[in-house]
Structure 1
Amino acid sequence: MEEKEKKEEALEQTTEAHVEDEKDIRIKELEEKVLKLESTARAINQRYVELQREAEYLKERYRRDLEELRRYGHERLALDLLEIVDNFERAFQYEGADLEGFKRGFELIYKELLRILEKHGIRPMELEGKEFDPYLAEAVDKEYNQDVPPNTIIRVERKGYMLHDRVLRPAKVVVSYYEEEIT
């Protein structure tokens, strides 16, 4: 029986050694996985820090660009308006002009100013004869008039202007009304 016990003991030791070897192998595999995961986590963290830094840079650059746009966004309009100033200065320097000549000069300058405004998307509203729209105009008065439908703009006191598709300045208008006789 002793030999049988020795064999069993040897088998048991071999099994225990095998189990220990498997445990060691498994532990080694897990340690390698942990190292890989730690390395991946460091890389992800480093990328996160880089992206955070880049986002801060872009945010600051956007803020600077926006500030620059606010300060200098009207530069082209200003340069075009300086042409009008130049025209006025030339008109003031001309000594031999009569009143009619000045009037003609002012009309040319006015047309040039309207052209510049149009170039920059600013155009006057043509409202006379149209139905009153409170989004485009402010009614400053009303007049009795049976020749046009009620609520028609019969006179523009101050022109309104559009900037592209927005009202830049509403017009001030006089609107028609009339009362029908009730029979």
Structure 2
Amino acid sequence: MGPRKENHRFYEQGSQLPQAPPTQQASRFMTSRERSIQKAREGKPVEQRQQQQVLSFLGNLQSNFTSLVRLVEKRLTYDRTKEVAFERLYQEMDVLKQDQELNQLRPLYIDLILFHDRMENIYKDAIDSGKVSPELTELLKSLNGELMEILYRRGVEPIILTSYNFDPKYQEVVKTEPTYDREEDNLIVDIVRNGFKYKDVILRPTKVIIKKYQG
């Protein structure tokens, strides 16, 4: 009687053992292939979140890079505009400086040019008359050459005649000679005085004699 009761209790207690969760119970009966499929399904949302995070990071990086490129382009455009503006300002300042320098030195340049004219005339008269010694003639030539060198160093130089056709920009008519040949109209016959310029500014035009057509 006693053992039977104990066995009966044992079976009753065994029937009251805690049951495993359904998933654990089901996993006990899964094959290895089913387990791998289930793990893949459980891991898929994690991979998707990681991919979304990477894509979001790349999108932000591209947006920042685009903003940086625009900023650099804007900066370069500003620098080029500023460089052009400064270059124009420097050019204008140079022109003003040259104009101011010329206005201050023009009387001196004109006096030196007139002194050159006198020395040249004396030299020519000495050559033509033959009354002046060769030593003095050579001295006048040397002094006149030194004077021209001084003018050259200051940016003053004679106007070179490149054509025998009269050009009012560089020449001034002091005398005319008649001609009946139409092709000789405004043709330069002789140079009375050489012209001089300071860089691109005319200090004194070349004094010339030209022919005028008489129709």
TM-score by length of 2: 0.44
Larger C-alpha radius of gyration, 1 or 2?
Answer: 2
